[in-house]
């Protein structure tokens, strides 16, 4: 990929290497860092791979432009972004053209967020530094109809949904189709293609079991749904109210009956399992019926906190997905006295940057 904003736009940092070299660099770094010999390497598409993107809007006289931060922390005007998914890439100029000629939609427009599914459905959020009112809504409705898009308007404490606030996503894992709704207010993996490869990698490395799975940081059930086919039952927990609400809709949508989703932080879940605190949210769930053989964690960049790490040590098998090798390394240091690494993978979710996502399967020594 050759982008004309390389070296200017701060979003991509590994622009001086070919894609093959980037992967080699990341694989060598991770192998050295974690002192491992074997690594599964899951590639991204080389262009048009990001299904979530946000751009600032730069106002100059009466004109507007998309903008990104430059290396010197200023706003850099851009006309296109090659890492965005085909659907986002195609709609960007059409949307800008329509916004440019509409004073109501253009005024005080601060940023635009794009979300697309792997099947190229689109949800666009326009973010304003002004109140959005009835007049805005009428213009936004016309725009959504003209461009055939789902649109949301956001300003301080106000959210107006034009058409609908979610898009449909679907993909197949081990010959089974899964359907999801993607929403702007819950966590979504940024690279749809790599996301599916991550789920496939985890599923491939777990045989069908007669035991149960405990999942922490489950989001909207991205991994949970396919993983439910590998276990007898799954208890999946997550801190975000909106993600758990969506996860519960996803089990119904996919007719899955062996998952229970509960909104609990990892710390609260431990308190519940250790019976040191009672939660109303658990009144319909019998925690004693579970026979967990595996725990699956996919924490935020901060990694797993100390209390939860101690709790992880009680499991026979751990599947750890990490978006931050630094905190992964710190956490594996704590687990290494009791666990050995069975499988290690890098998933190139963030091509053209230094970031890398890792997957580690650990089992008790």
Ligand X SMILES: C[S@@+](CC[C@H](N)C(=O)[O-])C[C@H]1O[C@@H](n2cnc3c(N)ncnc32)[C@H](O)[C@@H]1O
Determine if 223 is a binding residue for ligand X (CB under 6 A). yes
Which one among 218, 225, 273, 312 touches ligand X, defined by CB under 6 A?
A: 218
CB of 265 to ligand X, least distance (A): 4
Determine if 222 is a binding residue for ligand X (CB under 6 A). yes
Q: Which is nearer to ligand X, 122 or 182 (CB)?
A: 182
Which one among 49, 180, 187, 261 touches ligand X, defined by CB under 6 A?
A: 187
SS (H, E, C) the chain: CCCCCCCCECCCCCCCCCHHHHHHHHHHHHHHHHCCCCCEEECCCCCCCECEEEEEEEEECCEEEEEEEECCCCEEEECCCCCECHHHHHHHHHHHHHHHCCHHHHCCEEEEEEEECCCCCEEEEEEECCCCCHHHHHHHHHHHHHHCCEEEEEECCEEEEECCCEEEEEEEECCEEEEEEEECCCCCCCCHHHHHHHHHHHHHCCCCCCCEEEEECCCCCCCHHHHCCCCCCEEEEECCHHHHHHHHHHHHHCCCCCEEEEECCHHHHHHHHCCCCCCHHHCCCCHHHCCEEEEEECCCCCCCCHHHHHHHCCCCEEEEEECCHHHHHHHHHHHCCCEEEEEEEEECCCCCCCCCEEEEEEEEC
| Count of residues near ligand X by CB under 6 A | 18
Q: Pick the stretch among 3-11, 73-81, 159-167, 213-221 that binds ligand X (CB under 6 A).
A: 213-221
Burial 261-294 (b: 16+ CB within 10 A, else e): bbbbbbebbbebbeeeeeeeebeeeeeeebebbb
Touching ligand X, residues 226-265 (CB under 6 A): 238-240, 243, 265
CB of 78 to ligand X, least distance (A): 27
Longest dimension (CA), the chain: 66
Touching ligand X, residues 279-308 (CB under 6 A): 298-300
Question: Which residues are catalytic, by number?
Answer: 323, 357
Q: Which is nearer to ligand X, 19 or 201 (CB)?
A: 201
Which one among 66, 217, 292, 311 touches ligand X, defined by CB under 6 A?
A: 217
CB of 134 to ligand X, least distance (A): 34
Determine if 349 is a binding residue for ligand X (CB under 6 A). no
Touching ligand X, residues 96-125 (CB under 6 A): none
Q: Pick the stretch among 95-103, 154-162, 211-219, 282-290 that binds ligand X (CB under 6 A).
A: 211-219
CB of 268 to ligand X, least distance (A): 8
Q: Which is nearer to ligand X, 5 or 350 (CB)?
A: 350
CB of 151 to ligand X, least distance (A): 24
Q: Which is nearer to ligand X, 126 or 259 (CB)?
A: 259
Touching ligand X, residues 11-40 (CB under 6 A): none
CB of 269 to ligand X, least distance (A): 8
Residues that bind ligand X (CB under 6 A): 187, 189, 216-219, 222-223, 238-240, 243, 265-266, 298-300, 323
């Amino acid at each position: 990929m050759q982008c004309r904003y390389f070296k200017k736009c701060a979003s991509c940092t590994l622009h001086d290497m070919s894609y093959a070299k980037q992967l080699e660099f990341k694989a060598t770094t991770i192998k050295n860092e974690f002192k491992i010999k074997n690594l599964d390497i899951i590639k991204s598409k080389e262009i048009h791979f990001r299904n979530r993107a946000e751009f600032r809007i730069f106002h100059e006289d009466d004109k507007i432009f998309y903008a990104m931060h430059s290396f010197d922390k200023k706003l850099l005007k851009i006309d296109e972004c090659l890492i965005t998914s085909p659907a986002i890439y195609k709609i960007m100029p059409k949307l800008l053209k329509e916004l440019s000629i509409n004073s109501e939609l253009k005024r005080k427009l601060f940023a635009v967020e794009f979300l697309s599914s792997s099947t190229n459905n689109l949800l666009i959020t326009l973010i304003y530094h002004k109140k959005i009112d009835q007049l805005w809504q009428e213009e936004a409705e016309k725009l959504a109809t003209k461009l055939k898009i789902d649109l949301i308007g956001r300003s301080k404490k106000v959210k107006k949904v034009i058409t609908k606030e979610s898009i449909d996503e679907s993909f197949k894992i081990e010959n089974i189709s899964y359907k999801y709704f993607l929403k702007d207010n819950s966590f979504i993996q940024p690279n749809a293609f790599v996301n599916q490869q991550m789920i496939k990698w985890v599923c491939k490395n777990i045989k069908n079991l007669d035991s149960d799975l405990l999942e922490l940081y489950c989001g909207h059930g991205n991994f949970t749904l396919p993983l439910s086919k590998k276990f007898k039952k799954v208890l999946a927990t997550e801190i975000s109210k909106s993600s758990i609400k969506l996860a519960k809709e996803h089990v119904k949508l996919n007719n899955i009956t062996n998952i229970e989703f509960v909104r609990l932080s990892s710390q609260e879940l431990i308190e519940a399992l250790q019976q040191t605190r009672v939660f109303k949210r658990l009144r319909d769930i019998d925690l004693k019926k579970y026979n967990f053989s595996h725990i699956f964690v996919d924490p935020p960049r901060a990694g797993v906190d100390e209390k939860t790490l101690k709790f992880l040590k009680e499991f026979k098998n751990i599947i750890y997905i990490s978006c931050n090798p630094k905190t992964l390394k710190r956490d594996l240091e704590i687990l290494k006295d009791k666990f050995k690494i069975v499988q290690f993978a890098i998933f190139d979710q963030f091509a053209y940057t230094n970031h890398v996502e890792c997957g580690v399967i650990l089992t008790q020594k």
